[in-house]
Amino acid sequence: MLFKFTIYRIKMFVRDKLALFWTIVFPLLFVFIFCGILGRSGEFKLSVALVIEDSGPIVNELVQGLEKGGIFTLKKGIDFEEAKENVEKGRIDAILVIPKNFSSSLFAGGASLIVYYDKTRTQNAQIVSSVFQQLALEISKKTLGLKKFPIEVNLEGITRKRSIENASYSAFFIPGALTMALMAMGLFGVGGGIPREREKGLLRKLATTPLRRLSYGLAFVFQSAILALLQAVIIIGIGASVFKVNFLIRPLDLVIILVLGGVTFASLGFLIGSIAKRSSSAEGLVNVFYFPMMFLSPVFFPASLLPPIIRKISNILPSTYLVGVLRKSLIIGSSFKQIFPDLLGLGAWILGTAILASFIFRWTEER
């Protein structure tokens, strides 16, 4: 009975346009608005650090050419170590090094230079090197009267040190949007759904069948857990494809996080749905949880922006645990051991709300 009920719950959910809107479309709207404005995907101007170790007219001409071209945001007067650190932190996309002896070896017949790039973005390296080659070719024709410019461009990757602070806004916000989506599923879907079923008389009808209360609750829990995976595929997928966020996907960890997250909010929703006897009062109660969780948890902005007292409240919210663990896993690629404490936090919420709900839930007012 539980299997069938879960399958049918998912069917009902997918057929209900309003439910799809709140749990998938609405969070996606936020993704498009926030990542579109605050994410960097709109402008396509790579930042490139120029490390110039040589001098001479050719070098000057190259630098001038790059400046005139306006394709890159150039950073000059920076040494290599500093530039590398910036790439590691994701602040600069590439480094162009013009090595010592560049001019002399050029006249000797063949020079080389190195483009260092952020390994997670190979396409950037190709853009930098091809722009540079194009420019070099023009200069060589004009200044040196050569048909070929004997420069070899070597590419070398730098591993970006991943951290949440250094992540792009899109990378930061998409786990937040996913958290919003799971919250909506549990709170609006389950928390609002139970009182609606109560008002329609469905709970009375179910009470006359051998269906157990536990099975009724578990069907919601399983529905939320399974749909959480679907929500994640869509939202992370759009983050990766439209906003070019490079997430680290550890499939098994991600599934565990999503299932626990889905169950956390389903269980909280079930508690709300057990307390609220009418859908009007459920709506109020849902909002009492939904909006504070959305704004007190670091869904949109880092927790450091919150006043210290509020941060204390924020730290124990289930939404804070979920968004935190999602970011750790997706952005930094933390190991299971590292995310385990956050999962425990979610587990504690599940346990607490489920136990309370099991005492409070009634099919009817009298039974």
Q: Judged by CB under 8 A, does residue 5 bind other proteins?
A: yes
Least CB distance from residue 19 to other proteins, whole Å?
9
Phi, then psi, of 56 in degrees rounded to 5: 130, 170
Nearer to other proteins, 211 or 242 (CB): 211
Q: Which of 20, 29, 108, 202 touches other proteins (CB under 8 A)?
A: 202
Q: Judged by CB under 8 A, does residue 138 bind other proteins?
A: no
Q: Judged by CB under 8 A, does residue 209 bind other proteins?
A: yes
Q: Judged by CB under 8 A, does residue 287 bind other proteins?
A: no
Nearer to other proteins, 11 or 91 (CB): 11
Residue count, binding to other proteins (CB under 8 A): 23
Q: Judged by CB under 8 A, does residue 304 bind other proteins?
A: no
- Distances in Å between the Cα of 18 and the Cα atoms of 101, 180, 272, 296 are 67, 16, 20, 26
Q: Which stretch binds other proteins (CB under 8 A): 46-54, 69-77, 197-205, 325-333?
A: 197-205
Residue appearing with tokens 């899109």: 170
Q: Which stretch binds other proteins (CB under 8 A): 205-213, 220-228, 236-244, 291-299?
A: 205-213
Q: Judged by CB under 8 A, does residue 20 bind other proteins?
A: no
Q: Which of 76, 200, 278, 312 touches other proteins (CB under 8 A)?
A: 200
Nearer to other proteins, 15 or 68 (CB): 15
Q: Judged by CB under 8 A, does residue 8 bind other proteins?
A: yes
Pair 227, 17: CB distance under 8 Å? no
Q: Which of 71, 139, 207, 230 touches other proteins (CB under 8 A)?
A: 207
- Distances in Å between the Cα of 301 and the Cα atoms of 130, 307, 311, 328 are 37, 13, 12, 15
Q: Which of 130, 163, 335, 364 touches other proteins (CB under 8 A)?
A: 364
Q: Which of 210, 251, 307, 308 touches other proteins (CB under 8 A)?
A: 210
Q: Which stretch binds other proteins (CB under 8 A): 43-51, 139-147, 249-257, 358-366?
A: 358-366
Q: Judged by CB under 8 A, does residue 4 bind other proteins?
A: yes
Nearer to other proteins, 6 or 329 (CB): 6
Tokens of 189: 């879907």
Q: Judged by CB under 8 A, does residue 214 bind other proteins?
A: no
Binding mask 148-187 for other proteins (x = CB under 8 A): ----------------------------------------
Distance, CA of 346 to CA of 326 (rounded, Å): 12
Q: Judged by CB under 8 A, does residue 241 bind other proteins?
A: no
Q: Which stretch binds other proteins (CB under 8 A): 1-9, 36-44, 141-149, 262-270?
A: 1-9
Least CB distance from residue 24 to other proteins, whole Å?
16
Nearer to other proteins, 191 or 193 (CB): 193
SS (H, E, C) the chain: CHHHHHHHHHHHHHHCHHHHHHHHHHHHHHHHHHHHHHCCCCCCCEEEEEEECCCCHHHHHHHHHHHHHCCEEEECCCCHHHHHHHHHCCCCCEEEEECCCHHHHHHHCCEEEEEEEECCCHHHHHHHHHHHHHHHHHHHHHHHCCCCCCEEEEEEEECCCCCCCCCCHHHHHHHHHHHHHHHHHHHHHHHHHHHHHHHCCHHHHHHCCCCCHHHHHHHHHHHHHHHHHHHHHHHHHHHHHCCCCCCCCCHHHHHHHHHHHHHHHHHHHHHHHHHCCCHHHHHHHHHHHHHHHHHHCCCCCCHHHCCHHHHHHHHHCHHHHHHHHHHHHHHHCCCHHHHHHHHHHHHHHHHHHHHHHHHHCCCCCCC
Q: Which of 71, 164, 211, 248 touches other proteins (CB under 8 A)?
A: 211
Least CB distance from residue 365 to other proteins, whole Å?
9
Residue appearing with tokens 């759904």: 193
Name the residues that contact other proteins, by CB under 8 A: 1, 4-5, 8, 11-12, 15-16, 200-202, 204-211, 363-364, 366-367
